[in-house]
Amino acid sequence: MTDGAGPAVAPAATLVIFGAMGDLARRLLVPSIFNLVRDDLIPEGFAILGVSHHEAGDEKLRGELEAFIPKEERGSDAWQSLRRRIGYLQGDFEQDATYAELAKRVSGNAVFYLATAPQFFGPVVEKLAAARVLNEDEGFRRVLVEKPFGHDLASARDLNARLLACIPEGQIYRVDHFLGKETVQNIMVARFGNHLFEAIWNNRYIDHVQITAAETVSIDTRGKFYDATGALRDMVPNHLFQLLAMVAMEPPNSFDAEAVRNEKAKVLAAVRGPRAAEVETHAVRGRYVAGRAGDKDVPDYLKEADVASDSRTETYAAVKVEIESWRWVGVPFYLRTGKAMTARDTEIVLQFKPVAFALFRDTDVGQLPPNRLVLQIQPQEGMSLRFLAKKPGPLVDTAEVSMDFAYADAFTMGHRTGYETLLYDAFIGDQTLFQRADMIEAGWAAMEPVLESWQTAGQPEDYEAGGDGPADAETLLARDGRHWNSLG
Ligand code: BG6
């Protein structure tokens, strides 16, 4: 966030990318840096140093990265100047020699991005620290860690302890890429910059909240990672909990990173997930079987590459949680996410309480659908408020109508990867959009009983690829007299 003068150019620094030949670096990180260069937010003294075990040199890496820069931009001054500043260091992440070489090649400010498999997070930071590369004598030194941050509470605590034994929290930037999305950042402005919403944003008016991240894509080539992970671990304690925190947090006193993160941590610590005895009724897991999703034929999950034939991994998860705070007590939050579903749809629905019906008793109005505020995160980006209006005519009859705001109508969005703000913030040292150790651990702690119980329970329920998810997910809400907002 800025004071209105527009964002300042980031300080000169070296971005060291571990895993520079990987998908994340090629598809997202370097294209984002390029967008920042185009926006004049990256100074001349900025450089990228890619580290990976592949046998290659500077030119080879530049070529690999260029393949993901739009064709029409490759000849531009912006790309050509960035391209020249990309260097390569071939090295094993677990060998001291790599870090000795790195220490020679990095001076001044540096940001280390761990775009690697998660087993390297601990070792890389320990070796960077041992080689004294993380000392801030000559300039700032910051470490960006991608998800997955642990695979349960114990492993997340362990990883936090390992990192914090090397560097303080202020040097650690834990990435949750959902926080890079404009629409997610907008939640704070919508809530705290408008009387309209915040005045009714509590358990007096809100009946329940639904948070959905549905995808049409199947697991495709990610079987190895996904089969060991599953939908719950992949999306819920991290991405969906970040959305929940944005919706449920109390107003911070400023946009200062600690002020915002303290409020988020506070609300995350108040989340009560299902206890062991409640998992059966408060959590649902599903697994897709063959169907057609997003214009693609999808096989049974069990027939996907790199999936164990006796796998019990879920590709869909839904869970009901409560927040034990004065604002939210009594308001359930229903979270769901799934692969190979009928539509790509990430949204938050706040459903309001019913109004008194007595006034309408003697009219033709059969029922009064409750008001709903929908925050659309993707692929549509915007907000819509659904409310009742009188149908024209002599009788009192009602119809549900909608007031819609679409980002694309109000603003020029341009092509963005979603990592620009995260990278820029890391360069300027703003941790607002990064996860703190306590936030990560609170997410895992709330899901611990579900993870434990699913580990020993039978099989997930089948749902057809291209559908809405397993039938039990409907039951989860139906049991409370509610139903999911339809997808798409
Ligand atoms: C990632 C998950 O963190 O988020 C993926 O590992 C998922 O499985 C992705 O597809 C969703 O992100 P987005 O930005 O495409 O909604």
Distance CA(445)–CA(451), nearest Å, equals: 10
Take atom 8 of ligand 1 and give the residue whose Cα is closest. 234
DSSP string, 298-364: E--GGGSTT--TT----SEEEEEEEE-STTTTT--EEEEEESSBSS-EEEEEEEEPPPP-GGGTTSS
> Can you tell me which atom of ligand 1 is nearest the CA of 222?
8
Kindly give, in sequence order, each residue whose CB lies less than 8 Å from that of residue 375, ignoring residues fewer than 6 positions away.
183, 187, 190, 247, 347, 348, 349, 350, 383
**Cβ of 215 below 6 Å from ligand 1:** yes
The span from the CA of 282 to the CA of 476, in Å, is 7
Task: State the Cα–Cα distance between residues 314 and 459, nearest whole angstrom.
Answer: 8
pLDDT for 1 beyond 60: no
Tell which residue, 474, 381, 397, has the closest CA to residue 182: 381
Q: How far apart are CA 113 and CA 25, in angstroms?
A: 9
pLDDT at 466 (0 to 100): 98
Q: Is the pLDDT of residue 142 over 60?
A: yes
What backbone phi and psi angles, to 5 degrees, belong to 212?
A: -125, 135
pLDDT above 70 (res 254): yes
Which tens digit of pLDDT belongs to each residue from 161-208?
999 999 999 999 999 999 999 999 999 999 999 999 999 999 999 999
Per-residue model confidence (pLDDT) at position 454: 97
For 402-409, the CB contacts below 8 A with 24+ separation are: 406/380, 406/381, 406/382, 407/182, 407/183, 407/381, 407/382, 408/381, 408/382
Note the pLDDT of residue 439. Answer: 98
Lowest mean pLDDT among 94-108, 410-424, 469-483: 410-424
Mutate to test the pocket of ligand 1, among 27, 218, 224, 235 (most ligand atoms within 8 A of CB): 235
Structural domain boundaries of the chain?
A: 14-146, 179-416+436-478
Mean per-residue pLDDT of the chain: 96
CA of 399 to the centre of ligand 1 (A): 36
Q: What is the pLDDT of residue 362?
A: 83
Tokens of 116: 């690697």
Nearest to 58 by CA among 68, 67, 48: 48
Q: Which atom from ligand 1 is nearest to the alpha carbon of 344?
A: 16
- pLDDT on residue 186: 93
Higher pLDDT, 429 or 414: 429
Q: Residue by residue, what is the 3-state secondary structure of 35-54?
A: HHHHCCCCCCCCEEEEEECC
pLDDT at 3: 53
DSSP letter (8 states) at residue 371 = P
pLDDT in tens, 434-454: 999 999 999 999 999 999 999
According to the model, what pLDDT value does residue 437 have?
98
Amino acid at 351: Q
According to DSSP, the residues that pair with 463 across neighbouring strands are 288
Per-residue tokens: 212: 């959905």
Which residues are marked as active site?
Answer: 239
Q: What is the pLDDT of residue 4?
A: 61
What is the spatial distance between Cα 443 and Cα 240, in angstroms, rounded to a whole number?
Answer: 9
Contact between residue 284 and residue 472 where contact means Cβ atoms under 8 Å apart: yes
239, pLDDT greater than 80: yes
Lowest mean pLDDT among 14-23, 40-49, 349-358: 349-358
d(CA 312, CA 232): 13
122-131 pLDDT per residue, tens: 999 999 999 9
**Which tens digit of pLDDT belongs to each residue from 323-376?**
999 999 999 999 999 999 999 999 999 999 998 887 888 888 788 899 999 999
Question: What's the rounded Cα separation, in Å, for the pair 112 and 207?
Answer: 44
Cis peptide before 148 (omega within 30 of 0): yes
pLDDT > 70: percent of the chain: 99
| Residue 229 CA, closest ligand 1 atom number | 6
Name the pLDDT band for 457 (thresholds 50, 70, 90). confident
| CA 21 to chain CA centroid, nearest Å | 23
Q: Indicate the top mutation candidate among 185, 211, 215 to test ligand 1's pocket, ranked by most ligand atoms within 8 A of CB.
A: 215
Instruction: Tell me the C-alpha distance between 326 and 204, whole Å.
Output: 11
Pick the residue whose CA is nearest to atom 10 on ligand 1.
215
pLDDT band at 96 (very low <50, low <70, confident <90, very high): very high
SS3 of 381, please? coil
The predicted model gives 237-264 an average pLDDT of 97
14-146 and 179-416+436-478, same CATH topology: no
> Distance, CA 207 to ligand 1 centroid (Å)?
29
Percentage of residues in the chain having pLDDT higher than 90: 92
- pLDDT tens-place string over residues 385-404: 999 999 999 988 899 999 99
CB 41 within 8 Å of CB 10: yes
Is residue 234 in contact with ligand 1, taking CB distance under 6 Å?
yes
Task: Give the separation between CA 261 and CA 241, rounded to whole angstroms.
Answer: 13
CA distance 286 to 341: 11
Q: Is 290 left (phi over 0), alpha (psi -120 to 50) or beta?
A: beta
Query: Quick one: 246 exposed, middle or buried, by C-beta within 10 A (0-12, 13-18, 19+)?
Result: buried
What is the 213 CA–ligand 1 centroid distance (Å)?
9
State the closest ligand 1 atom to the C-alpha of 377, by its place in the atom list counted from 1: 16
CA of 339 to the centre of ligand 1 (A): 10
81 CA → ligand 1 middle, Å: 31
Q: Whose CA is nearest to atom 14 of ligand 1?
A: 178
Tokens of residue 401, six digits:
């109508």
Would you give the DSSP letter of residue 78? H
**What top-level class would CATH report for the domain 14-146?**
alpha beta
Structure tokens at 437: 């150790």
Strand partners, 311: none
Assess contact for 194 and 375: CB atoms under 8 A.
no
Contact 16, 51 (CB under 8 A): yes
CATH 3.30.360.10, applies to 179-416+436-478: yes
CA distance 110 to 48: 10
pLDDT exceeds 80 at position 414: no
- Residue 142's identity, in one-letter code, is R
Residue 299 CA, ligand 1 centroid: distance in Å: 20
Atom 6 of ligand 1, nearest CA residue: 234
From atom 9 of ligand 1, which residue's Cα is the shortest distance away? 235
